[in-house]
Amino acid sequence: MSLSEKYIEEGEKNLLHTYNRFPIVLDHGEGVYLTDVDGKKYLDFASGIAVFALGYNDPEYNDALKKQIDKIIHTSNLYYNVPAVEAAKELCAVSGMDRVFFTNSGTEAIEGAIKSALKYAYTKAPADDYEIIAMEHSFHGRSMGALSVTGNAHYREAFGEGIGHIEFAEYNDLESVKAKINSKTCAIIMETVQGEGGIYPASEEFLKGVRKICDENDILLILDEIQCGMGRTGSMFAFEDYGIKPDILTTAKALGCGVPVGAFLMTERVAEKSLVPGDHGSTYGGNPFACAAVLEVLRQYKEKDIVGHVKEITPYLEAKLDELKEKFPNIIDRRGKGFMQALEFDGPVGEIVTKAQEKGALIITAGTNVLRLVPPLIIEKEHVDSIVSILTEILQKY
């Protein structure tokens, strides 16, 4: 029995079976490569589901966290801590937002965003039946609040109504949104680029149109950039490309590059009429260790111009993926922004993912017929060539 088989057998006995895991037991990483416990090396085009933007075993990142461990890891939010104060300042600066609340995950960031919007409406006119418009085919998380605004009925059906008062509109269909607006609508929540739903960027007309609707009706626009934010699309945050700004923004994943941390941010206008002491909290949220990770990530993004690198390599990545599409007729679409790309096929892609693993590459899906490519933001052209070569070899026999 191999080491991988041993750990998989033990895991199947003790871990709750909520994931259909691949038979791979990863052990360590270096740059854009991961290695399993049996020594097999993989080119990583999944990056922990768009998390490891800076790649693996980055010495500066590791040293920053080691230094913080030697100082203090946790204090609780009964007190200030230096990394949280500094990380809040830097994150507000790069996002253009005014206030931040640090969470432990993207899902928790969504929960906070929902509560903030509801409290904003309640402060203006107390009521318990305010509505939120979400999008079909969206994904915002698995907790009850985040699940309630996730536009996939299959994910919700076993868990009842959720928080209630949620209406679903069609993404990139402005008339569909307009049809859902009423006097009780307090917020519209959407991903700037839908991730799990198949990698669909918002159209400029749609996002600007939603922003206009919100402005005209004092409705809050919540943009979920948990996956598409932090430089992945070639801008620090994807909304920047549209010339608009959200009222509430959520981020996570690459925010900590592996350390569990998320955040929801808001404008001062929202903060003035939203959460106050006693409305929201988190024991671990904003602890010194997590915020030290945020600070180091933001420092490297600035010093190494990570966003600029994504912009530089994106045309090459897109061109190579377009060549694949032209070569293989079972690829019906290539879409995405920056290092968040999709290849849509005319059938299921599970076998392609498995074959890629056999050939030493990690790719994930977005639905049953879409390959999702979300590599570390430090990939070079040579890595693009490698993944395209592997996919070509697979598709020639597919």
pLDDT at 364: 97
Which pair of structure tokens corresponds to residue 19?
Answer: 């994931």
pLDDT at 243: 96
Single out the residue of 68, 100, 46, 394 nearest to residue 254, CA to CA: 46
Strand ranges for the chain from DSSP E: 26-30, 33-36, 41-44, 99-103, 131-135, 166-169, 185-191, 193-194, 200-201, 220-224, 248-251, 262-266, 331-337, 340-345, 361-362, 364-365, 370-373
Are the beta carbons of 68 and 74 closer than 8 angstroms? no
Q: What is the DSSP string of 306-369?
A: HHHHHHHHHHHHHHHHHHHHHH-TTEEEEEEETTEEEEEESS--HHHHHHHHHTTEE-EESSSS
Backbone angles phi, psi at 121, to 5 degrees: -65, -40
In our burial notation (b when 16+ CB lie closer than 10 A, e otherwise), range 109-136 reads bbbbbbbbbbbbbeeeeeeeebbbbbbb
User: Can you tell me which residue has the tokens 């009780």?
Assistant: 184
Summary mean pLDDT of the chain? 97
Q: Position 356: which residue type?
A: A
Q: CA 369: distance to chain centroid? A: 20
Edge-first strand order for the sheet with 33-36 is 26-30, 33-36, 41-44, 361-362
- For residue 143, give the nearest of 201, 197, 104 by alpha carbon: 104
Structural domains of the chain in order of their starting residue, each with its CATH number: 3-58+305-395 (3.90.1150.10), 72-303 (3.40.640.10)
Listing DSSP states for 146-161 in one string gives HHHT-S-HHHHGGGTT
pLDDT at 235 over 80: yes
Tens-digit pLDDT profile for residues 54-69? 999 999 999 999 999 9
Cα separation, 5 vs 189, in Å, equals: 42
The owner of tokens 């922003």 is 211
pLDDT of amino acid 161: 82
What is residue 1's predicted lDDT score, i.e. its pLDDT? 84
Percent of the chain with pLDDT over 90: 96
Q: pLDDT tens for residues 155-206?
A: 898 998 889 899 999 999 999 999 999 999 999 999 999 999 999 999 999 9
* Residues 177, 331: Cα–Cα separation, whole Å: 31
Residue 186 CB: number of other CB atoms within 10 A? 25
398 has a pLDDT exceeding 80: no
**Cβ atoms of 54 and 378 closer than 8 Å:** yes
